[in-house]
Chains A and B, each alone.
Chain A
């Protein structure tokens, strides 16, 4: 194959540094500085991809981020990164890539039969064939499920791998006065001006090199500005960095590619770095992208954007072809033709849809040589695996009509220019609606505000040089028989767009979704305007009235690795109680309860969780057990108005609670529903210790703070979270008092000194403790609190003191069993939908004072008799119940509607049965009824149950008061 590399030119390449790389295992050589696209062009490779639906051979069209065709999968150490544009892959020694969407090879793709089907995969194919109701066996969603794997294989892009990506990624926060997006001349000048005014500036350029699309003659000017910016301490220059998202508050997201272009990464260097840049002002200098013209056969390899062809020669010293032709509707392509002629290309013809051109273009046409065909258009192309000839016919672009016969011109590269589109994506993301410019036939960013400005070509300031006009003729499509592609990457043709219109799609957003135009990985960078123009033509409306779609982040594919950076793996916070190590040392299975790790049960060898917790619960009911309750939320409430404050947030009275007494309290939300419960201890006249459920500790804390700061700033109260300061252990069972009596010094613990809900202060094994007699289990029980650092010491002292009484630790499961038997509620019942009445806690609703929720709790809907209320449930068949099961009236064949659900279940050793708590419709009146617990989805069980009072064990509370 002849080399397409010219002996001179190529500002980016190092001619002395040859690098070897492979495509599908085949060895190629390029030069350091080449992109993969440039190196493949230099090797004479024309087919660089297969199209999405039809598997048509495709060549490279562009030179930058707008490339729709030449996509490859980069394979590094077994990790696959699919859909990377060849125009952005920098070659290095050892680079390995795979071509995509072809089988068995890029050159001979058997899937190309897809294109013979022609109409089969036209717009809306998926919707029409697969969506909607199932009519017959071969239609609808079910059919889609059957065909999906076949179609997905035939139509698609690259395939990701399953290997774990071992690369390191980084995130960084940056702050500046000015962020310049785009390191072309306009951006660099803006940055220099701002830095000279003393501003902190960050400049991001997505290409490796500075200068953007600037003419090669500007090279020294660019070098000079970059040198000057580099010398300034408050300027950060980031190349290979794509700013892809603009979010609220002038926060922008960018990805810096640090090692992708290197054979060996420097030690410790991350692969990508995700930048979160907060800036006072954004200067958009994002340039403009040349757009193609839609015509039959416009996707044949060898058809390329004119400016891309020009820049391949200038930047990489590569000619895109030997015998070039040009198709244009504007002056800029004449520059490309003249420049390519200058480096030795043979320009066969320039075909311009316009009937006449200005003096500047004429002069360049003379320089370029070849036939100048004004008022002509390309109406077809041929060549099996690349362009061989084009058909040209006389064309009147105003009437869109052809005259005379067509002429064949041999050419291996057709350079196309359909005008230029300023890159408005970022401005659009920020909410600025682009404005149609009739002269440029393009959308421009609207007038900037104080947060941003726009510079250079991005502002529509297209300067092609002396005597050249930036205004194109309004020609987006040359309509002639044949497949003419609008969106190369998604294989959307001009006829697909018209079909969508015929089928009634009017809005551009619907058009996009129906045809998938502009929805591929290139997000329609080359196709949006043409698609819009064809739609506008079909609607007989001007383009701006059809509108443009709003762009959303990211501008180009963003690296998820970089966004996640170090934040992957097990990052779930674990809170451990002071006695954690003791539990794990003693066989506890730990269980995640919110952020906390709590012992589920203490299993002996070979014991199941159920065997263990049933045994633990028995020990508590018959002897004595010890459980870690350090996870309860604990809030210190202090100040002269502390009692008044509690009176307002709890439903029951706290003002008269004596010192060294505790009270069970219930809180409601403002809307009258139950929020949380717990005990609050009065430690001194103006000091209380509030406990909350483990689950709601944070919520209750914020609620109290809001009440104090927002509603009652006059109350002199401080609230402080002390959850982590106290270790807590509950000792429960008929023998608990005897255990305490044997180890507590400094206070008596008998019924007189320590009655139900009483508090005493003493010491255990030398450590000061606070003991409150209260019970969650329903047994005689005490909560023993000490400083967190002494938690294990006190716990061990209690275990030692309990040894003669056969004390055993118990876990969450046994705790759950005990409270279910007693009908005590937790967060499973206080689920945000239940009221105090639903939970039989209405005895706690004071009528003597207002409190949070008091005004709303008696609303009609909250007092309705049919509401779900708390009941107990006993399995009648001996089968195990399942939490979350529905309670229904009928048997398995005709279960009937759900009456409610089980909130908790356990095996009750006291009742020798599986029992549970449930919230069911009009629960009170159903006590004694025989119903079913139905769990048709998870356990397929349908268990006969009896509804009982939620007080299943010791309903009068004699044990805990004893």
Chain B
């Protein structure tokens, strides 16, 4: 698998670390809230789709930026890889 890092160009999978489901990470509940159901869902529930899946990957062996990668869990084909973070 090759991920095209917007900074470093197309790089091998071995340089990246998987950090989780992008949509899930984006839906982090309000930290001040202690809604157990919402937090439980955030920490443990995953959709596990067969097909397109948005994920956060860190280019840990490269620029260390986090990327939102859309990947097919069936073919491992990568549709897009975009930077997330302050300068996105």
Which residues from chain A contact B64 at a C-beta distance below 8 Å? 705
Q: How far apart sit A499 and B32, CA to CA, in the bound complex (Å)?
A: 67
Q: How far apart sit A705 and B67, CA to CA, in the bound complex (Å)?
A: 12
Which residue from chain A places its CB closest to the CB of B65 in the assembled complex? A709
Q: How far apart sit A859 and B29, CA to CA, in the bound complex (Å)?
A: 16
Contact mask for chain B residues 12-28; partner A; CB cutoff 8 A; 1 contact, 0 none: 00000101000001101
Which residues from chain A contact B19 at a C-beta distance below 8 Å? 702, 706, 710
Q: How far apart sit A709 and B85, CA to CA, in the bound complex (Å)?
A: 4
Which residue from chain A places its CB closest to the CB of B77 in the assembled complex? A249
Looking at the complex, which of A213-221, A580-588, A850-858 is the stretch in contact with chain B?
A850-858
The answer, yes or no, to whether B34 is at the interface (CB within 8 Å) is yes
* B58, A705: Cβ atoms closer than 8 Å: yes
Select A713's contact among B33, B43, B85, beta carbons within 8 Å: B85
The answer, yes or no, to whether A148 is at the interface (CB within 8 Å) is no
Q: How far apart sit A710 and B23, CA to CA, in the bound complex (Å)?
A: 11
Which residue from chain B places its CB closest to the CB of A249 in the assembled complex? B1
* A248, B39: Cβ atoms closer than 8 Å: no
The answer, yes or no, to whether A671 is at the interface (CB within 8 Å) is yes
The answer, yes or no, to whether A711 is at the interface (CB within 8 Å) is yes
Which residues from chain A contact B60 at a C-beta distance below 8 Å? 702
* A706, B31: Cβ atoms closer than 8 Å: no
Which residue from chain B places its CB closest to the CB of A278 in the assembled complex? B2
CB within 8 Å of B: which of A709-745?
709-711, 713-714
Main secondary structure on chain B at its contact with chain A?
Answer: loop
> If A850-B32, A855-B29 touch, does A709 touch B2 (CB 8 Å cutoff)?
no
Q: How far apart sit A725 and B40, CA to CA, in the bound complex (Å)?
A: 40
The answer, yes or no, to whether A670 is at the interface (CB within 8 Å) is yes
Q: How far apart sit A709 and B88, CA to CA, in the bound complex (Å)?
A: 9
Select B66's contact among A671, A710, A854, A859, beta carbons within 8 Å: A710
Contact mask for chain B residues 44-77; partner A; CB cutoff 8 A; 1 contact, 0 none: 1000000000001010100011100000000111
* A709, B66: Cβ atoms closer than 8 Å: yes
Which residues from chain B contact A671 at a C-beta distance below 8 Å? 43-44
CB within 8 Å of B: which of A672-731?
702, 705-706, 708-711, 713-714
> If A278-B2, A854-B31, A855-B29 touch, does A706 touch B43 (CB 8 Å cutoff)?
no
Which residues from chain A contact B32 at a C-beta distance below 8 Å? 850
Q: How far apart sit A711 and B25, CA to CA, in the bound complex (Å)?
A: 8
The answer, yes or no, to whether A397 is at the interface (CB within 8 Å) is no
The answer, yes or no, to whether B86 is at the interface (CB within 8 Å) is yes
A572 to chain B, nearest CB (A): 17
> If A702-B58, A855-B33 touch, does A670 touch B42 (CB 8 Å cutoff)?
yes
Which residues from chain A contact B66 at a C-beta distance below 8 Å? 705-706, 709-710
27 inter-chain pairs at a CB distance below 8 angstroms, sorted by A residue, are: A249-B2, A249-B77, A251-B1, A278-B2, A670-B43, A671-B43, A702-B19, A702-B58, A706-B56, A709-B66, A709-B86, A710-B25, A710-B66, A710-B85, A711-B25, A711-B28, A713-B84, A713-B85, A713-B88, A850-B31, A852-B31, A854-B31, A854-B34, A855-B35, A855-B36, A856-B39, A856-B40
Closest 10 CB pairs of A and B: A709-B85, A850-B31, A248-B76, A713-B86, A709-B66, A855-B39, A850-B32, A249-B1, A671-B43, A855-B34
Chain B residues with a Cβ under 8 A of chain A = 1-2, 17, 19, 25-26, 28-29, 31-36, 39-40, 42-44, 56, 58, 60, 64-66, 75-78, 84-86, 88
Given A248-B1, A706-B19, A709-B66, 13 further pairs, Cβ under 8 A? A249-B76, A648-B31, A671-B44, A702-B17, A706-B56, A709-B86, A710-B19, A710-B84, A713-B84, A714-B86, A850-B32, A851-B31, A855-B33
